[in-house]
Structure 1
Amino acid sequence: MDEMRFSESVTARLQEGVLVVAIDNPPVNALSAHVRSGLAAALDHAAGEPAVTGLVLSGAGRTFIGGADIREFGKPPAEPQLPALVGRIEAFGKPVVCAVNGAALGGGCEVALACHGRIAGGKASFGLPEVKLGIVPGAGGTQRLPRLIGTVAAVELIGTGRAVRADEAVALGLADALAADPVAAAIAAVREQAGRPLRRTGELAVPAADSAALAAAQAKVVAKSRGQAAPAEAGRLVAAAGQLGLERGLAEERATFVRLRDSVESAALRHVFFAERAAGKVDKLDGVSPRQVGTVGVVGAGLMGSGIAVSALVGGYRVVALEQTPEAAVDGRVRMAGLLDKAVQSRRLTGEARDACFARLETTAEAADLATADLVIEAVFDDLAVKTDLFRRLDGIVAPDAILATNTSYLDPDAIAAATAHPSRVVGLHFFSPANVMRLVEVVDCAATAPGVLASALAFVKRLGKLPIVCGVTEGFIGNRIFSAYRRQAEFMLEDGALPHEIDAALEAYGFPMGIFAVNDMAGLEIAWARRKRQAASRNPAERYVKIADRLCEAGRLGRKTGLGWYAYPDGKRTDDPAVTAMIEAARAAKGITPRPFTAQEIVDRLLEAMADEGRALLAEGIAARPGDIDLVMINGYGFPAHKGGPMFAAGQDEKRLA
């Protein structure tokens, strides 16, 4: 039979008496208004056509349905709305089976839950990630999923937003079967069900759950949420599915969805979502194509270099890692093997993929082996003389069109580039440690960086699955410059009357995973100390300067690695240290400062203001292109809670409240 078209994105064909519906709304088959109307029209056709025994819902391309259409966010809802469409699918008088060929996420998963059968292809995945946008599923996900997989498993999946692959979906009971050809298997399932009582998910009883196990699952989700509201609400709604009928449960879910959707928290997470879509877009690169990069050189196989090398291997590149001696090269190879093994253990990599990565790795102590590299990233000691000498040597080894990237945290990449024969091929790639885990990479557009080199650096970072944020040259780039500004403000408060544990507690209550002084101890205090000593001669004597951190370093308190820093670490556990309090009190006395108490709110307000002020300066100087870029750096590199939107978003909310 010829193809039938029900909307611009929904078509169907009749096969063996089954109406096989295809959703084709690239790139992810989002549930746009024309998709919803097309599905409704397909149901109308099937209901009125005796020759149609049932329907199969499928997605064109590599996705089943990727969720809502983000272009409709903030607009009046268009009919049919998703909850009504999902309800109609479940109540339909003929069997409806979905053939899930790829991702069924958000509303796509809710459509699948409402079907009378779910066949998963090998690349299928199912997930309800709404909590990542500060909301809960709004079309029955919290009420139907527990009826299939139980409340404990549903709390974990919905509360974390985690997606499950096809095999786990079948094991849980979310999908009915796994098939190499899900459409053919779904057609067979429709024909088998035709004329029989249909298994409607909403009519199933919620399996009885152990109350202690359910409470533990809810508590675990809340503990991971760092104060975000949506995960706790999702857990509450899932639990309610076992106590309320479907109709009441759906009404409670929808009311919660609307309330959360209109919250500042959800606005913050949507801001982050859209900021990520804009990140890496550079106007001057329109029409500029990246160069081909096949082999990546990494100079330095320590913790940072090994992490960068493993990221490149997982991204599919051939890697040549250079160390100073053959022994160090062997140690680097062992270190990289360990990182790849950990990725296999955590199921982020298969054993076969690990072996393929290792086969593409060469470790060496011979600099000449970098001659084949299209891109060389240095991860050596952060010293200007060391890095400039290295880049001069690389000039004579790599091809003239090879790209040279510096991973410096604080040094001037323009000075490094100026030491080379071809400054236009130098770019900054500031990875965050551990580089094989952290998503963020600051891509530094140096004064002489050629557009093609910048485009190539962006393409490289994206292929690694990381988040590139383009910035200009300034000491510390975006992240470390803001971190330095709010660290200074934290140290001012130390002198004025607060203590490290009070400041850290306020930040952690706000949503940071660790407070700033605990973070400093973990990173090591000597790095910032060395920087302060470099800057001493040029420091404005009229500016306020706090010497407490210097005194800690002079006393050998360099952080966790020495067992003493801002805190003491007996048996590895962080504890407040009276010796630090004494140092702080001595510093106050030396300046004649009478200490005063600080509330947690005042601490947070002052630190957020310091971050936002520095962010505004970065925007004014053209170092950062967008406020959202600054927010993404602080969220992905420094633990700023995503559900607060980042320092620039938070400052905007404060301005709205004061307006």
Structure 2
Amino acid sequence: MSRAVTLIREGDCARITLFNPPVNALTQRLRSELRRALIEAENDPKVRWILLKAGGRCFSAGADMGELDRLHEAPSLPELTLAIESGTKPCVAWLHGAVLGGGLELAMACHYRLGPPELRLGLPQIALGLIPCAGGTQRLPRLMGLAAALHLLLSGETIGATQARRLGLIDAVTPRLHVEAQQQAEAWKLAAQGVRRTRDRRIKVPVADAAGWLERLSLALPDEARDNPACARLFEALKTAVYQPFDEGLRREWALHLECLSLPQLQERAEARLAARRHGRRAPRHQWVREG
């Protein structure tokens, strides 16, 4: 069996590449191999920084739907994102294609993010009746503000590279570079600034009373949204992000995610989404969400 993660040293850079076709799903095997590669890079005195990228058609479309019951197995995705963010060496994510769900959570844990104009980024877990489990509700508002984060999380939509750069989700939009030396040179421009942890950022809120604002929006949701048990839990996770320390926010997010996993509606939503994909239909857009 070929490896899902490879590490190659180029000068003072440890280039870590994910390769788990077709969409680089974050299986337990990939997570384990990635954790070992990160430890190896962190312990190598010749390595000054890490470039995290992926082979194939996209960076990562998130968790493997067939392994939702294995997300807790070590290293869990929350443990992996914490390990990346807590590293002492700058880690830059070179993104391409789709960066979705757990894939985006992985990228947000890196210290910098960049990629070409055709990027599509999003956290579509809400359509399955889930909320993110690896810091999505905690890091996203720290990067792009509470209002924009709520929009992206509730709608499940994706955004392009230009909008992601404007909102602060990524740090740079680059040409589509196929030569690894060029990718590494572009990434180094960011890594040279040193470690920058998303968890240390303050959340920009649209009003002073963020709790009241979230409560009003939650009560104003239409029946379609109220029928999705993940929506109420999403609002609770975001409230925790604003008012509690980061680590407490991660713990609460994980607990709320597990609640969603235990609900019978999850399987129904997953089957409906897969059926829509088989027939070439897109999931319905949630029109009640408005950007702040």
> What is the TM-score of this pair, normalised by structure 2?
0.86
Match of 2:115 in 1: 120
Match of 2:221 in 1: 222
Question: Does structure 2 conserve the Cα–Cα contact (< 8 Å) formed by 1:106 and 1:127?
Answer: yes
1:92 to 76, 87, 90: 87
The offset of 1:108, in angstroms, is 0.3
2:205 to 190, 205, 208: 208
Instruction: Please tell me whether Structure 1 or Structure 2 has the larger radius of gyration of its CA atoms.
Output: 1
Aligned equivalents of 1:117, 1:221: Cα separation in 2: 36
1:58 partner SS? strand
Aligned equivalents of 1:200, 1:162: Cα separation in 2: 25
1:74 partner SS? helix
The offset of 1:221, in angstroms, is 7.9
The code of the aligned residue for 2:221 comes to: V
The offset of 1:49, in angstroms, is 1.4
1:51 partner SS? coil
Match of 2:269 in 1: 269
2:137 to 130, 135, 142: 142
Q: CA RMSD in A?
A: 2.6
Question: Does structure 2 conserve the Cα–Cα contact (< 8 Å) formed by 1:99 and 1:120?
Answer: yes
The offset of 1:226, in angstroms, is 4.8
Listed as ranges, the matches of 1:614-633 within 5 Å are none
2:53 partner SS? strand
Aligned equivalents of 1:217, 1:42: Cα separation in 2: 45
User: Would the alpha carbon gap of residues 48 and 75 (structure 1) be closer, same or farther in structure 2, given more than 3 Å must change?
Assistant: closer
User: Would the alpha carbon gap of residues 128 and 76 (structure 1) be closer, same or farther in structure 2, given more than 3 Å must change?
Assistant: closer
Question: Structure 1, residues 55-80: CA drift from partner, whole Å, max 9, x if none?
Answer: 11112122101100122133574321
The code of the aligned residue for 1:244 comes to: Q
1:36 to 8, 31, 38: 31
The offset of 1:275, in angstroms, is 4.0
Match of 2:287 in 1: none
Question: Does structure 1 conserve the Cα–Cα contact (< 8 Å) formed by 2:108 and 2:139?
Answer: yes
Match of 1:52 in 2: 47
Question: Does structure 1 conserve the Cα–Cα contact (< 8 Å) formed by 2:214 and 2:239?
Answer: no
Question: Structure 1, residues 570-590: CA drift from partner, whole Å, max 9, x if none?
Answer: xxxxxxxxxxxxxxxxxxxxx
Question: Structure 1, residues 206-263: CA drift from partner, whole Å, max 9, x if none?
Answer: 1233157844883498335152121232123123211111011111111100011101
Aligned equivalents of 2:79, 2:257: Cα separation in 1: 15
Count of matched residue pairs: 278
Question: Structure 1, residues 188-212: CA drift from partner, whole Å, max 9, x if none?
Answer: 4346534x54110011111233157
The offset of 1:186, in angstroms, is 5.3
User: Would the alpha carbon gap of residues 101 and 19 (structure 1) be closer, same or farther in structure 2, given more than 3 Å must change?
Assistant: same
Match of 1:199 in 2: 196
Match of 1:151 in 2: 146
Matched, 1:180 2:180: no
2:29 partner SS? helix
The offset of 1:120, in angstroms, is 2.0
Question: Structure 1, residues 388-436: CA drift from partner, whole Å, max 9, x if none?
Answer: xxxxxxxxxxxxxxxxxxxxxxxxxxxxxxxxxxxxxxxxxxxxxxxxx
User: Would the alpha carbon gap of residues 218 and 15 (structure 1) be closer, same or farther in structure 2, given more than 3 Å must change?
Assistant: farther
The offset of 1:84, in angstroms, is 0.2
Aligned equivalents of 2:103, 2:129: Cα separation in 1: 18
The code of the aligned residue for 1:218 comes to: L
Moved more, 266-275 or 78-87: 266-275
Listed as ranges, the matches of 1:248-259 within 5 Å are 248-259=248-259
The code of the aligned residue for 2:217 comes to: Q
Matched, 1:22 2:21: no
Aligned equivalents of 2:216, 2:123: Cα separation in 1: 17
User: Would the alpha carbon gap of residues 221 and 28 (structure 1) be closer, same or farther in structure 2, given more than 3 Å must change?
Assistant: farther
Match of 2:158 in 1: 163
Match of 2:290 in 1: none
Question: Does structure 2 conserve the Cα–Cα contact (< 8 Å) formed by 1:53 and 1:191?
Answer: no
Aligned equivalents of 1:132, 1:69: Cα separation in 2: 15
Question: Does structure 1 conserve the Cα–Cα contact (< 8 Å) formed by 2:28 and 2:71?
Answer: no
Matched, 1:238 2:238: yes
2:84 partner SS? helix
Question: Does structure 2 conserve the Cα–Cα contact (< 8 Å) formed by 1:55 and 1:190?
Answer: no
User: Would the alpha carbon gap of residues 140 and 90 (structure 1) be closer, same or farther in structure 2, given more than 3 Å must change?
Assistant: same
Aligned equivalents of 1:15, 1:118: Cα separation in 2: 19
Question: Does structure 2 conserve the Cα–Cα contact (< 8 Å) formed by 1:53 and 1:190?
Answer: no
Aligned equivalents of 1:267, 1:127: Cα separation in 2: 22
1:67 to 48, 62, 69: 62
Percent same amino acid among aligned pairs?
33
The offset of 1:265, in angstroms, is 2.0
Listed as ranges, the matches of 1:115-514 within 5 Å are 115-181=110-176, 184-185=182-183, 187-190=185-188, 193-194=191-192, 197-211=194-208, 214-215=213-214, 218-219=217-218, 222-223=221-222, 225-276=225-276, 279=278, 465-466=280-281
Aligned equivalents of 2:184, 2:161: Cα separation in 1: 15
The offset of 1:273, in angstroms, is 3.4
Q: Which has the higher contact order (CA 8 A, sep 6+)?
A: 2
Aligned equivalents of 1:126, 1:171: Cα separation in 2: 13
Aligned equivalents of 1:181, 1:81: Cα separation in 2: 32
1:65 partner SS? coil
> What is the TM-score of this pair, normalised by structure 1?
0.40
Listed as ranges, the matches of 1:541-556 within 5 Å are none
The code of the aligned residue for 1:20 comes to: R
Aligned equivalents of 2:130, 2:199: Cα separation in 1: 22
Question: Does structure 1 conserve the Cα–Cα contact (< 8 Å) formed by 2:101 and 2:124?
Answer: yes
The code of the aligned residue for 2:239 comes to: A
User: Would the alpha carbon gap of residues 217 and 150 (structure 1) be closer, same or farther in structure 2, given more than 3 Å must change?
Assistant: farther
Aligned equivalents of 2:147, 2:140: Cα separation in 1: 11
Question: Does structure 1 conserve the Cα–Cα contact (< 8 Å) formed by 2:94 and 2:187?
Answer: no
The code of the aligned residue for 1:245 comes to: P
Q: Which runs of 5+ in 1 are unaligned?
A: 280-461, 468-634, 637-659
Question: Does structure 2 conserve the Cα–Cα contact (< 8 Å) formed by 1:97 and 1:186?
Answer: no
Question: Does structure 2 conserve the Cα–Cα contact (< 8 Å) formed by 1:146 and 1:206?
Answer: yes
2:59 partner SS? strand
Aligned equivalents of 1:50, 1:217: Cα separation in 2: 52
Q: Which runs of 5+ in 2 are unaligned?
A: 285-292
The offset of 1:124, in angstroms, is 1.1
